[in-house]
Amino acid sequence: MLDNKGFDLWANGYDKEVGISDEENRYPFAGYKSVLSKIYHKVLEKNKPSVLDIGFGTGTLTAKLYEQGCKIYGQDFSVKMLEIASKKMAKAKFYQGDFSLGLVKPLRKYTYDFIIATYSLHHLADKEKIVFLRELKELLNGDGVILVGDIAFENRIELENCCNEAGSEWDDDEVYFVVDELKKELPELIFEKASYCAGVLYFGQNTLF
């Protein structure tokens, strides 16, 4: 698993590498554009909503939302990626911090219409994911929604099949979403597949929409 310095070094080539993996329908980023598109269109169902992005990277998705008038907040632990994203979104409120240690204090002062996380929360263990998602839920506005786009599977069998197919490319350090296991603690989770190894999870005050 990359630390913040590793992500700093990856920052300039990140978008290109992700795009190639998606276009070739390869793990880990098969379905990446579809994941981002689903989240983008869901967020824009509201007029100029407030959006918190957890692990925003180079700001690929949030920059598009920013252009549509969304009020953008974010946290990422890579200083380099924060610099790249800030150049795209001068009025966004971005903070440096490791979300495995929780949300930084300034971001806990606000509430949000949407909290999004794309390809970031797989760095947390399942128990940490559950705790963090519950904490984030408390920062949602009344009908707010958490949208997690990530490497995710309906069940453990799907994950194991992907692992076998990926072979040496598989990353054992990351903890991918297995929806039927997480739903034991978060029964309101809704999952929408985007590819054989990715999808969007919906979680909020009322995710039965």
Domain layout of the chain by residue ranges = 4-204
Which of 18-27, 36-45, 91-100, 154-163 comes out lowest in average pLDDT? 18-27
pLDDT tens digit string along 140-150?
999 999 999 99
Instruction: Specify whether the CB–CB gap between 102 and 28 falls below 8 A.
Output: no
Helix (H, G, I), strand (E, B) or coil at 203: strand
- Non-local (6+) Cβ contacts of 139 within 8 A are 52, 103, 108, 110, 111, 112, 115
**Residue 17, pLDDT score:** 61
Answer whether residue 100 shows pLDDT above 70. yes
Q: Cβ neighbours of residue 75 under 8 Å, at least 6 residues apart?
A: 52, 53, 54, 55, 56, 94, 95, 96, 97, 99, 103, 104, 107
pLDDT tens per residue across span 32-66:
889 999 999 999 999 999 999 999 988 989 999 99
Structure tokens at 79: 């200083």
pLDDT exceeds cutoff 70 at 178: yes
Return the CATH number of the domain spanning residue range 4-204.
Answer: 3.40.50.150
Q: Are 70 and 51 in contact (CB under 8 A)?
A: yes
Least confident of 23-32, 81-90, 126-135, 195-204: 23-32
The residue among 44, 19, 41, 42 whose CA lies nearest residue 32 is 19
Amino acid at 40: Y
Burial per residue of 91-106, b for 16 or more beta-carbon CB atoms within 10 angstroms, e otherwise = ebebeebebeebbeee
